[in-house]
Amino acid sequence: MTALAVSHIIIDNQTPTWPLVLAAFASVASAAGVLIAAFQSRRAAEASLLATRVAEEAWARTAQPHIRLATVMGTDTVPTSLQVWNRSGSPAIDVHIEIRYRDGGNPDEATRNRFESSPLPDGSYEPPWEITLSRVRADIADAIEAVVATYFDDRKVGQYEQRFTAVSAQGAMAIAGYGQDRRVR
């Protein structure tokens, strides 16, 4: 009796080999099926990730808070201040306002963890966030280079930045109400 070793299976001359060949073919076909399933699973995961990114981008565009500014000119007893509103349907999170002065000195900064939108859902108005402009004595446009607001939407999907510049309005200097906004992230 002669024996032949094939892949750790001993086959003698009397045993038909076709069932073994069939089993090997089935194993190869099964492995190919697993590879195809893994490839399809990866493609489905990539498509799902793309759909998530598209949905996040759509959310970021529709839920972007819109910061608006106005200045209140001071008097001898009341300092000049900056009033800040969120004129959108979504609250702003981690709001950082930086007031940059033309003299090159350190900017004034103000932060707020959450800044509700105004008008509120019940129709009432949130009072403006008031920031004192400590170094402005007379002409805002001569004193302030820019006001930069950075913030997130309430889900922190997008981060935004708005840059406001001082402008002249009918002889009085003020900060522009609508800044140039852009999505940072």
Query: CA dist 23 to 6, 32, 91, Å?
Result: 13, 14, 64
CA dihedral 161, 162, 163, 167 (to 10 degrees): 180
Give the pLDDT of residue 185: 60
Give the pLDDT of residue 110: 93
Whole-model pTM? Answer: 0.63
| Residue 79 CB neighbour total at 10 angstroms | 15
DSSP conformational letter for 126: P
- For the chain, the domains span 3-61, 65-183
Give the pLDDT of residue 77: 78
Instruction: Tell me which residues of the chain have a pLDDT lower than 50.
Output: 1, 5-6, 170-173, 177
Whole-number Å distance between alpha carbons of 170 and 167: 10
Give the pLDDT of residue 24: 72
Give the pLDDT of residue 103: 84
Residue with tokens 């009397």: 14
65-183 domain in CATH 3.40.190?
A: no
